[in-house]
Structures are given as structure tokens and as C-alpha cells.
Chain A
Amino acid sequence: MADIYHEIPPRFQVEIDREKCRLCERCTVNCTYDVHSFQGERIVTRSENCVACQRCATMCPQGAISILPGKISFAPHYTYSERIRRIIYEQASTGGVMLAGSGTDLPYRVIFDDLLLDAAQVTNPSIDPLRETVETVTYLGRKPDRMFVTEGDGKLTVSRGADYPNVQLSTPIVVGHMSLGSISYNACVAILRAAKEVGTMVGTGEGGLHPDFYEYADVINSEVASGRFGIEPRYLKEIAALEIKIGQGAKPGHGGHLPGEKVDALISETRMIPKGTDALSPYPHHDIYSIEDLAQLIGALKEASRYRVPVGVKIAAVHNSAPIASGIARAGADFITLDGLRGGTGAAPRIIRDHAGIPVELAVAAVDRRLREEGIRHLVSIVAGGSIRYAADLVKVLALGADAAMVGQSVLIAMGCRACQMCHLGNCSWGIATQRPDLTRRLDVDIAAQRLANVFHAWTEELREILGALGIDSVESLVGNRDRLRYVGPNPKVAEVLGVKHAGEPWSD
């Protein structure tokens, strides 16, 4: 078939300052998108290939490279915006479903930014976390309805029912599921190392566990997804928690997408599939077509792990999340992860990434309320993710009802990700979302691990600072404490769903 590719104006304009350029060709080596090449006596740029990953500009020893917005204007049109026109041009060229990486870039309102925090004044003292203890320890897992303790004859007798395995986190931040495959071996190791230093938990994604990673087993949350890739006995037994993945915020209703090109020897070994085959996990679990099927899988995993670790269920935040979460709690899950509309992905159909699901703020508030109304909130911990960007979002999502926040994109950004959203291409020039050996070695594990640990420490300190200002000395007293939030956004209905008062209204019902 004849090439029907149609020239599309470049999104970015790459310019080289010829005065500064010394023709060292470092840009040509660093660019993974075929922008820079050395031809004869000068560097030639193909701006139409640029994704603004900034690798060339960062690595240029002369600072000679500029990456600017595309210089060819699109005639203004609100309805047929530049974005829409580009999508149609690309589909006209390829005829395919468009893939995308990262989370949606559409300007859905970030409700976190419409929420303000309270602070203690006069009638209660604020607490200085540098002088006083302010605790961030969090336990994820099912809690019993109540305890049974009796007193008599100088003795306290504690009667226990079933075991309630909980996983202890030093801070209410967990790393979401980013598989080996979606990100590189080095990136995985850096995350695991940082999590171990900080004392929190990391999701495996649906990629199995590389044998080297068992060194970090006590911070690992093994994911059981619909493709069941990489599941072996130790994957279920030697870890800190198990999580059944039903859905993902970036692609509710979809499975996994790992193209065969990325399935090299390393991935093949870890996922336990032949080299070069596509790893496409089914949309639903083919043994879960109802809530009772889910209950059976939860039960099976608890059996397999000898009831030693909590078993969670991750769902995408969708319209009916609250009743679904109630069902999951009753099906025996120990924690529920809600992944919001703005959640990230290594690869997803863009149409789903950009248009399905609901913001995590609303989902958390709705689920927390529903579980309380049904008197079963203690049966599950709630983990919320999908655009927890920084400590402010962390604090707010806890106050809305989450026990812990799940982070992904920020973890990658901490390690050097420029959020160019091209993860699905596998050419990540920073060595994060790629399997190409020449690229993965660009990520220095020690530096990446330290940078990530720094971010977690910083967030935890900021969480302490905010707790102190709220007059709260332990994070559990923030969880679900919506009274300490106020809404300043444009839509009172949002505040109503969140169960948050408008700014200016005092404490009251």
C-alpha cells in the first residue's frame, strides 16, 4: 500500500545555537526519537520527531539546544482544537487505535487544588513536629469488629478470633504497580531500594518478580492480574502483601499491553512467557465474572499465602465504585486500592485513558462514606492513587478517607522522568520506561534510589508539618477527617459528594 503518511506540523521546534554548538554529537547519541543527526558539517534536527523529553538539551555540554513550542500555528478553533485535529491526522495515517503512556493530559479539574486545609488557632494548640512526636505509621489490612479483653484476678485475658494480617508502613505512601516491562530493571531496583530504606511497600505490577528482587520481599506487594504472568509459589508466599488487579485508573475495563518487542530474555524469564510474544492480559479475569468469583480468588490467595499477608483488590475509580467496594470488602479483601481517572500507565488506548473513570477524590469520598454507612469500614483499608502528585494531595486524600496514598508518576519523575508521555514507545531516553539495554543503563540505580527516598522523606516531613498545624499528632486522626478540609472550587455539588464544607463555613454538621 502506498504510504499515506500525511505531514503534520511538529509539536515542538528544536533549535540549535550554531554559535555554541561544537559538533560533539552527544545529542545524536542521546536522542532516542531520531531527532538529531550529524550530516556533513552540522547537526541536523528533525523537529517533527521530538517529544520534548529534554534529554538532548540536558546532555548538551554547551547548552546549545532549545526545545520550543511548534512554530507552525494551527488556525484557532475551539471545537476542532489542535489536539483533536492531530488525533484525526494520526488516525488517518495509521487506521489504528491510538496508544498513549502516562496518565491523561486532558485538563480535568484537579479537585485537590480546590481543597484547603485547616489549621489550629488559639482553642487548640498546633504541634511543632521538630519538637514533638508526630506519627505517620500506618497499618494496612483488615481490622476486627472489636477486641475481647476481660479483667479479673489481676489478669487481663485477651481472646482473639481470626488472624488479621496487617502490613506496617512507616508512612502512608505506597508505590503503585509498575511492572518490570513497563519500566526497566534498574528503575525497579531503585524503587525497591528506596522503599526499603523508607519502610513502605511497592507493587510489582503484572510482571512477576525477577529473582533478584526477592531480596526486597518484605516491601513487595505482588500483583495478581488477569494474565497471571509470573506467578509462582514464592511470588505468593514470600512477600508482604498480595493484590488482585481488577482495573487500573488509566484504562478501566482494559487488561495489560506489553508488545512482543519488549519481551526480551529478562522479561521472558520474569513473566514466564516465550521471548518475543505479546503479553496481553485479558480485560476481565477469566475466572472472575462476578463478586462471588472474586471472593473465591481472594480465598485462594489467602490459602496460598497461609493467611500471613493481607490480600487487596485494586479497581479503577468508576461511577459505581462505592457499591463495588462494599462488595469487595464483603468478599474478604483486606484492602482496596482505588485508582483514579488521572492514573498513569505504561501503555493504554488513549481513548480509554482520556475518557473513562472518575477522579480519585470523588471515589475515595464515596467509598469511605459507603463503607461507614454499612458499618464495614474497618474491614478494609483504602489506598488511593491516580494523580497523588505531591504531599498536599497526600494529605487531602487521607482527609477524604484513604488510609494511604498510592503514587506512580511522581516516583518516575523523582528518578528523572520528564513526563513526555511516550512510555508506550519503549524508547525512554532516560532509561526508565524502556527495556533497551543501551538505554536502561542510563539510569544510575544508586542515584535514582536516593532521589526517590528523598522525595518520600520530604513528603513524610511535609505530612508531619501539616498534621502539626492541624493539631494532630498521628496520621490515623486525619483519615476521614473531612471536617479539616474546605472547598473553594466552583461546583457546590462536588463539595457535597466529598462531604466537605465550603470555605468560610465553620465547624458544623
Chain B
Amino acid sequence: MNGLSYRGTWDKPATPPGRLERIGEACGIAALVNLDGRPESGARIGKMIRTMVDRENGLGAGYAAYGLFPERADLYCLQMLFDDRGALERAREFLGKKFRLDADEEIATYPVATLLGKPPICWRFFVAPPKEAEGQEDDYVMAQVFRLNAELAGAFVMSSGKDMAVFKGNGWSHEIFDFYGIGDYEAPLWLAHSRFPTNSPGWWGGAHPFNILGLSIIHNGEITSYGTNRRFVEMWGYRCTLLTDSEVIAYSLDLLLRQQRLPELVACAALAPPYHFLIDEMENGGARELLREIRVNYRPAMLNGPFSVAVATNYEAPTLLGMTDRKKLRPLVAATSADGNTVFLSSEECAIAILGEDATEAWAPHAGKPVIAGVGRGLVRRGTEDYFEGLEIEFANP
């Protein structure tokens, strides 16, 4: 694509336009994590995403950084967009009532001549939940984020996790990079996303990464099982308001990983399970039994249709997780740096190649198999292993 693609001429609001439609899209995704936790600037992640120019059309891009506020790591950082000052003040008042407001500041932004229209006001709040929410802080914060996004006109919460933040907006990946000065931030784990949505009226909050608490997701694809997945997560109390696939994947993962505390491998097997016939062909044993149970019990959670995703979590350590649908209808490439300390994920190998000597070994993770790498955890999975390979499986019946 090129700069001539149609982007419309109107201002792009921070919050959704009146009528929201679920849309399909193609996208570029890029991610990297330094396994030793060494922070690095956004320069390399920016380089990765910007080189995949065919994958965007100027209607949305974004970045997420984990391990970004080590000095405030125990506070929730609400990274927000506002259409006007009034919305900012209303949000400040709301947050003051619902949280202990530790600090707030304007997010640094820089003028970008090519950005269409007036950009929203960008502000971040560091908050702590009140005493009443003790033991259920995450659920409390999530409920307030849902309320803010649903009820507070002109305000949108981009991210709400600890020690992390999402930066996103309506524009090309290079414009959003420059707008937020992504190169000035330092973090050990980065996600970057660029978009080619098949509709035209973009809005800032509608760009990706999509975040809920400590989980951020960048996604390329179109979930054909959206209706089934959406009804599944809504049954567990989530409200799908943005009508995007990323939203429903994020809620599914929040449910499985945070609420139900399932191991990553189990959650991934629920979202992209092996075929029944492959399970049948497996050697009789724990892995086969567990996979079958996952398939039967999490039927409506299975994601159908083409997708590749990269997910960042910070439940314990900042962790990067990447996977595709079980037919691998969307691309995903993984690589490690020469010193083995950095793990990269991207839609295309060019994004890794452009880093030159930094990325020496690239491989194609298998369809539906997760790549997992975390700060302090190392490269746990390359996405080429068998299900639960190397793990003993024990069934504890009551």
C-alpha cells in the first residue's frame, strides 16, 4: 500500500462513532522480548512494524510496552484518550471517586503533520483500588474500565494494566510512532501493530493493541466463530462493546489465564485445539486425555477462522505469547537474536531481517502451537513442540 490509500478527511475521535460495526481486517504484527529483562527503546520494534507496509492502510496502529514503569509497578496505569478537556475532567472526577489517585500526567505527544484531524488528548493516571476491593483488585479495575468506556462520553481507556502501557491511534504505524515518541520509551517487552481494516471511519481507541488489565493483544485475522466466542465470554460476564475480534480473544484469554488460572499451554489448546482425529491418533496417555477434555469442555472458546496473534501478559513476569489458528491461515514467524537473549515475533520475516545481525535464527511456529517467551522465563516454547511435550500429566481425582 502507499500513502494514496483513502483515509477520509474528517477528524478521528478517540471514542467510537455512534454506530459500531464489526469489521474484518488484515494486519501486521511485531513483538519482541528481552529474556534478561534489559529494557530497550522502541526503535527496533518501530523498525519491525514499519517495514511491513503492505499490511496497513493508515487506519490505525499502536504499540504496547511492558516493564515500562518499574518505579510504579504496583499501581494500575490507566492510559487514556479524550475527545476534549471536559471529558478529561469528568474522568478525573470519576477516578477520584473510584480509586486512590496516585499520580497523573499528560502523555508526551509530538505534532505529526500528516496525521489527519486534531488528535485526542492523551493522559495517564496511576491508580490504586480502594480497600473494599482488596483481594479482587483486578476485577474491580476491570469493572471500572468497562464503565468508563461504556458510560463516560468522550473518554476511552487504552490500557489498564500494571507496569505497562498501550499507545495507539488512527494513522500509519510511523505516524503513531512519531506522535507518541515511541523511541523515547524503554521496556523489555514490546508489541506493535499496524492495520488494514476493511471499513473507513477509524477512531483512535479502535486501533490495536487491545488491552484488558495486564493482557494486551495484537491480532491479524478474522474470527469466523465470533458469534459463538462472543456469547461464550458474555456468559462469563464480559461485555463485548467494540465488536472486534481482538476484544473477544482478549476476554477469552483473560477468562482462561487470569480468572481460571489455566497454564498458558492449556489456554492455547482451548483456543486452537488439535483435530479430533489427531487426538485419536495420539499415544494413549495423559496428553491425549487432557487434550480431549479441553476440546470438549471449551468447545465455544475455540477460535475458528484465520488468525495470528501476539499476546503480552504480566501476571508474573512480562511474557510474550504468539500463535496462529490451527490451519495457520495467517502468517507468524519467530526468531531469536544471535545472543539468544531476544525473541522476536512478526507477520513477515522481513520484519526480522531488517534488524540485520540482531536476528540470526528465524523459524515458522507450527499451526496452532504457541511460542512462549518471558522475562526471566526464557524461551519456554518455540511453537514446534508436540502438545505438552516434556511435561508429565497427572490427573488428581477427588
Contact = CB atoms under 8 A, between A and B. Distances in A.
A403 B392 CA distance: 33
A122 B222 CA distance: 10
B395 A158 contact: yes
Interface string B22-35: 11111000000000
A62 interface: no
A474 B302 contact: yes
Interface residues of A, number: 50
Nearest to A505: B21
Contact of B290 (A144, A158, A509): A158
Contacts of A125: 306, 329
A470 B227 contact: no
Contacts of B261: 150
Contacts of B296: 139, 143, 166
Interface stretch (A255-263, A339-347, A420-428, A479-487): A479-487
B81 to A, nearest CB: 22
A156 B275 CA distance: 21
B299 to A, nearest CB: 4
Contacts of B135: none
A294 B226 CA distance: 36
A505 B228 CA distance: 19
- Counting chain B residues whose Cβ lies within 8 A of the other chain, the interface size class is 35 or more
Contacts of B224: 120, 124, 470-472, 477, 484
Contact of A135 (B237, B243, B276): B276
B234 to A, nearest CB: 7
Contacts of A477: 224-225, 228-229, 302-305
A135 B326 CA distance: 12
Contact of A508 (B21, B305, B392, B398): B21
B6 interface: no
A478 B223 CA distance: 12
A472 B394 contact: no
Contact of B395 (A122, A160, A470, A478): A160
A376 to B, nearest CB: 8
B221 A147 contact: no
A137 interface: yes
Interface string B217-261: 000011011111111001111000001000000000000000011
B231 A147 contact: no
A133 interface: yes
Interface string B252-279: 0000000011110110000000011100
Nearest to B304: A477
B9 to A, nearest CB: 23
B21 A154 contact: no
A491 interface: no
A156 B276 contact: no
Interface string B372-398: 000000000000000010111111111
Given A472-B225, A479-B300, A155 B394 contact: yes
A122 B197 CA distance: 12
Contacts of B237: 375
B293 interface: yes
Contacts of B142: none
A477 B304 CA distance: 6
A286 interface: no
A79 interface: no
Q: From DSSP, what is the main secondary structure of chain A's interface residues?
A: loop
Nearest to A124: B222
Nearest to A157: B394
A124 B24 contact: yes
Contacts of B299: 139, 143, 476, 479
B278 to A, nearest CB: 9
B304 A472 contact: yes
Which interface residue of A120, A156, A507 has the most chain B CB atoms within 10 A?
A156
B37 to A, nearest CB: 21
A506 interface: yes
B136 interface: no
Contact of A143 (B234, B297, B302): B297
B300 A156 contact: no
B228 A124 contact: no
Contact of A377 (B19, B235, B390): B235
B327 to A, nearest CB: 7
A480 B261 CA distance: 26
A146 to B, nearest CB: 5
B200 interface: no
B198 interface: yes
B364 interface: no
Interface of B: 19-26, 198, 221-222, 224-231, 234-237, 243, 260-263, 265-266, 275-277, 286, 290, 293-294, 296-300, 302-306, 326-327, 329, 388, 390-398
Given A147-B297, A156-B266, 20 more contacts: A122-B198, A123-B222, A133-B275, A133-B277, A139-B299, A143-B296, A147-B293, A151-B391, A156-B392, A157-B395, A158-B286, A375-B237, A470-B224, A471-B222, A476-B299, A477-B304, A478-B228, A480-B300, A481-B228, A507-B22
Sort A-B residue pairs by CB-CB distance and give the 3 closest, nearest first: A123-B24, A477-B225, A483-B227
